[in-house]
Structure 1
Amino acid sequence: MLYVALSLVIAFGTADAIWYWNVAPGWSEGFFGTETLLLVGLLYCIVYFFFAKMYDAHKIGLYRLQELAFSQMLAYGISDGVLFIAAFFWFHNFQRIRVRLFLLAFFIQFFLILVITFIFNRLYARFDEPRKLVIIYGSEDYKRLLVKIKEKKQRYQVVGVMHESEELSLIFETLKQCKDAYLCDVKDEVKDRIILYCNAHQKDIHISMDIGDLLILGDEVSHSFDTPFLRNRKTPVAWYYPFTKRCSDIVISLVAIILLSPVMLMTAISIKLYDRGPVFYKQTRLTKGGRRFEIIKFRSMKMDAEKHGAQLSNVHDDRITPVGKVIRKLRIDELPQLFNILKSDMAMVGPRPERPEIAEQYEKEIPEFDLRLQVKAGLTGYAQVYGKYNTTPLDKLKLDLIYIAQRSVLFDLRILFYTVKIIFIPESTEGVPDGQSTADPGIK
């Protein structure tokens, strides 16, 4: 809480300083006053806190210093942009706005929050104990979770890993030492007993979700009779959502194409100069209803990259060119898909379009995989901001189903803003392990 309070103090102080030095020349015209400064500072703090929460900028101990610093930079930067727009509407004249003061304030914000974040991160690492947890599993999928937890050993400590067939008394004894219980594919009768125990002893429970759970996400309690039921109500999305989504797709893609045209031109020249090959790479993908379309990307691999058939790129893929490594890292290779959005093959937000041959392989193992095709494919999506390139097909499907169940204008907007952060996170573009052609470890 102290860290959050200090970040808000920085936000309030710098916002008021920016406004003071920009508005001061208008004192005689009545533009300046205590109420105005308080209102500006308060509104700035609200905007900053919204984006800081979205980007997990206050989660000390959970993320690395670099990630927290970058999240804070995004939160302050976007808030400064909003304040700049507000100043323009105040003056109706850009010439009266001192841009250098906005830049100076941003560097002051970033320097102060970087120092504070470093101090709090060090204090957390020294004094805060890892959160103790136990994993109870019914299938081998728990192993992937275990690997991820061990990567954050400063944050979590695994006290026990137990199969659902263990005696409940032994599971409960282990739970006494923990704050959290992770249930991975545990059968219902065992799950119910553990949930009752955890509720009675104030333990947090994390339960894995199967496809059926996700399809009834957002159920309401039905009181039609004196026996309560969970009602899975099939309500359509808001009537204005499809129209609003399509209009925003057109506007955003057009603006992005115009603003990013110099970047795309430089990329095209670099690719052409490297090996004289084609600049663009077209590939058949699936969108809503299983319709096929040609996706457009900047070519990042050698011209004969798929002479042995379709496969995802792996961690040490020698098919990727030097230019390709750079544009993949910065996601520039995806920019031509803005033209796919204009053509209505894709949307800005939605499940990433899969290749028909790879989707077919996934569907042999996961018949429900085609449920992703209920909506139009997207340039970014829920599975992209909370998953990785090498996220398993089942987990990717689960993330996409969460999006499909909750999609709305505000949800799409949230994903778009969060995409700004994950563009610069290397782990999100990490390839599949060497020797795999898909993200499913069972398919070679």
Structure 2
Amino acid sequence: MKYNNEWKKDVIKQIYKVLSVIIAFVSAAGLWYWNIGQGWSENYHGYLTLSIVGVAFSVVYWGFAKMYQAQKIGIFRLTELAYFQILSFGIADAILYIASVLWFHGFDKLSLISYIAVLAMQMIIIVALIFVCNRLFAKYDEPRKILIVYGAEDYVSFLNKIHAKKFRYKVEGCYEDSVDIKIIKNAIDKCVSVYLYDVNKEVKKELILYCNSIGKDIYITQDVEELITMGFDISHTFDTPFIRTKRMPVRWYYPVVKRVFDIISSGAALVILLPVLLIVSLCIKLYDGGSVFYKQIRLTKGHKEFYIYKFRSMVMNAEKNGARLASQNDNRITPIGKVIRATRIDELPQLINILKGDMSVVGPRPERPEIEKQYLEELPEFGLRLAVKAGLTGYAQVFGKYNTTPEDKLKLDLLYINQRSMLLDLKLIFYTIRIIFIPEATEGVAEGQVTAMSQEKR
């Protein structure tokens, strides 16, 4: 029965993927035919042109759909999948529109309304498809049975994250790594996946070998040291094989290209978003008559201090009792502040910091000196984040949250630092668009916490 359910779920996934690509192909070819190339379908060249347009659009759409995980039916909620699909189709439609303009050398020959109408039609059809497929998938889906083996004291924070996704996961057992290994192995036999959370090396080694022998998925946390040395090759100088840590050198042109990109993108964004900046400024001023902007000392590359600019989202003198991160249901946040924080609009003035050279578009988020000092007491390696210039967005912002613990934030930032390139920067920028309207990404720290350091470590 279980095998049949898995087969049915796979069929639903494939149907969803195929139909979404068909929607992309038909809508693009139809848009081109009705808006640009009427009459082309009457001969061979017409069919060929429409086919090329449809395929090209489908490839672009599929690339963004994969990036935004818009094809992950059964994993995300209906609203999340709809949002990811809107982004994927919307960006692909925009590229098609720009290509059309370049093809015909002018905006006056094309109708933007028809593109908006097609996007609306795409959304109606795709949301209906998501709804049907999600319901069918849920009918045959069961929570994934997992086992957690832990060695760190703060495993409870990870356990809470698992429980928050109870519709996807069912924790069959939670064992400390000091428990008899035979008991853990017996529990593994009843699960689909095993999560090793900061487990000691001996237990980790034995469980990895055991899971590999019985074909179980295994997920393992990595230490900071492991992430620093994650780039490696094999040395065969001796008859004993060695792993040689090998950090990929940053291309000589990367800093120059990155700075040029920062200047052009931040300058263009300030011009394009000027109406939004003015409206938000007016709303903040009219609400309580206080200052529109909020500036604060932050740290960037080499522990250099600078003033970061943000739209004020809290009441005046919000930190008169000392620096602390925003908590959930923080009464210091104004009604306007809740909106601009949820949509990340409060971060837009940092485009000025990027233009000045204080920050980059992509990089680790700049921390406050006093908060970093607290983090360094518990995590001396936290300063490794400042090997590169701070950024408006980055690895930790995309894959973490506002309340992500300092250790996890450091690990995410090290992944970026060790792999940084313009291609990765562009990918993270597109990923940032994906998380703008995801509420969990702006979730504050728990009540009573001053920083994101977990309660267990405080």
Say whether the fold is shared (TM-score over 0.5).
Answer: yes
How far apart, in 2, do the equivalents of 1:195 and 1:418 lie? 32
How far apart, in 2, do the equivalents of 1:184 and 1:102 lie? 48
Say what the alpha-carbon RMSD is for the aligned residues. Answer: 1.7
Kept in 2, the 8 Å contact 1:24–1:32? The answer is no
Residue of structure 1 equivalent to 2:181: 168
1:90 to 103, 112, 119: 103
How far apart, in 1, do the equivalents of 2:98 and 2:86 lie? 18
In the TM superposition, residue 27 of structure 1 has moved relative to its aligned partner by 4.3
In the TM superposition, residue 142 of structure 1 has moved relative to its aligned partner by 2.1
In the TM superposition, residue 98 of structure 1 has moved relative to its aligned partner by 2.9
In the TM superposition, residue 314 of structure 1 has moved relative to its aligned partner by 0.9
Residue of structure 2 equivalent to 1:113: 126
Residue of structure 1 equivalent to 2:389: 376
How far apart, in 2, do the equivalents of 1:97 and 1:77 lie? 17
In the TM superposition, residue 199 of structure 1 has moved relative to its aligned partner by 1.2
Residue of structure 1 equivalent to 2:435: 422
Residue of structure 2 equivalent to 1:202: 215
Residue of structure 2 equivalent to 1:389: 402
Kept in 2, the 8 Å contact 1:315–1:433? The answer is yes
Residue of structure 1 equivalent to 2:93: 80
Residue of structure 2 equivalent to 1:135: 148
Q: What secondary structure, in the 3-state scheme, does the structure 2 residue paired with 1:33 have?
A: helix
Residue of structure 1 equivalent to 2:47: 34
In the TM superposition, residue 30 of structure 1 has moved relative to its aligned partner by 9.3
Q: May I ask how many residue pairs the two structures share in their alignment? A: 444
Matched, 1:255 2:272: no
Q: How does 1:177-216 map to 2 (within 5 A)?
A: 177-216=190-229
Matched, 1:240 2:253: yes
How far apart, in 2, do the equivalents of 1:32 and 1:117 lie? 35
In the TM superposition, residue 220 of structure 1 has moved relative to its aligned partner by 2.0
In the TM superposition, residue 26 of structure 1 has moved relative to its aligned partner by 6.8
How far apart, in 2, do the equivalents of 1:5 and 1:144 lie? 38
In the TM superposition, residue 29 of structure 1 has moved relative to its aligned partner by 13
Residue of structure 2 equivalent to 1:24: 37
How far apart, in 1, do the equivalents of 2:345 and 2:167 lie? 34
1:231 to 224, 244, 248: 244
Alignment CA distance shift 1:86-1:26 (3 Å): farther
> Bigger shift: 143-152 or 218-227?
218-227
How far apart, in 2, do the equivalents of 1:85 and 1:158 lie? 49
Residue of structure 1 equivalent to 2:361: 348
Q: Counterpart of 1:308 in structure 2: which amino acid?
A: N
Q: Counterpart of 1:176 in structure 2: which amino acid?
A: D
Post-superposition Cα deviations, 1:147-179, rounded to whole Å, max 9, x if no partner, equal: 111122221111111111222222221111122
Q: How does 1:187-336 map to 2 (within 5 A)?
A: 187-336=200-349
Residue of structure 2 equivalent to 1:99: 112
Post-superposition Cα deviations, 1:344-376, rounded to whole Å, max 9, x if no partner, equal: 000000000000000000000000000000000
How far apart, in 2, do the equivalents of 1:234 and 1:215 lie? 9
Alignment CA distance shift 1:254-1:26 (3 Å): farther
How far apart, in 2, do the equivalents of 1:301 and 1:153 lie? 34
Residue of structure 1 equivalent to 2:60: 47
Task: Give unmatched runs, 5+ long, in structure 1.
Answer: none
Kept in 2, the 8 Å contact 1:183–1:205? The answer is yes
Q: What secondary structure, in the 3-state scheme, does the structure 1 residue paired with 2:413 have?
A: helix
In the TM superposition, residue 194 of structure 1 has moved relative to its aligned partner by 0.8
How far apart, in 1, do the equivalents of 2:347 and 2:368 lie? 15
How far apart, in 2, do the equivalents of 1:81 and 1:25 lie? 21
How far apart, in 1, do the equivalents of 2:235 and 2:143 lie? 41
How far apart, in 1, do the equivalents of 2:177 and 2:153 lie? 12
Q: Counterpart of 1:147 in structure 2: which amino acid?
A: N
How far apart, in 2, do the equivalents of 1:372 and 1:350 lie? 9
Kept in 2, the 8 Å contact 1:141–1:184? The answer is no
In the TM superposition, residue 223 of structure 1 has moved relative to its aligned partner by 2.3
Kept in 1, the 8 Å contact 2:247–2:418? The answer is no
Post-superposition Cα deviations, 1:119-157, rounded to whole Å, max 9, x if no partner, equal: 111112111222111111112232222111112222111
Matched, 1:154 2:167: yes
Q: Counterpart of 2:349 in structure 1: which amino acid?
A: P
Q: What secondary structure, in the 3-state scheme, does the structure 2 residue paired with 1:94 have?
A: coil
Post-superposition Cα deviations, 1:210-235, rounded to whole Å, max 9, x if no partner, equal: 10111012222222222222111133
Post-superposition Cα deviations, 1:20-63, rounded to whole Å, max 9, x if no partner, equal: 11233474999952222222111111111111111111111211
Instruction: Give the TM-score normalised by structure 2.
Output: 0.94
How far apart, in 2, do the equivalents of 1:301 and 1:198 lie? 50
Q: Counterpart of 1:348 in structure 2: which amino acid?
A: V
Post-superposition Cα deviations, 1:309-350, rounded to whole Å, max 9, x if no partner, equal: 111111121112222222212211111110000010000000
Instruction: Give the TM-score normalised by structure 1.
Output: 0.96
Kept in 2, the 8 Å contact 1:23–1:31? The answer is no
Q: What secondary structure, in the 3-state scheme, does the structure 1 residue paired with 2:146 have?
A: strand
How far apart, in 2, do the equivalents of 1:410 and 1:182 lie? 31
Residue of structure 1 equivalent to 2:5: none
Residue of structure 2 equivalent to 1:13: 26
In the TM superposition, residue 200 of structure 1 has moved relative to its aligned partner by 1.3
Alignment CA distance shift 1:123-1:27 (3 Å): closer
Residue of structure 1 equivalent to 2:4: none
In the TM superposition, residue 279 of structure 1 has moved relative to its aligned partner by 1.4
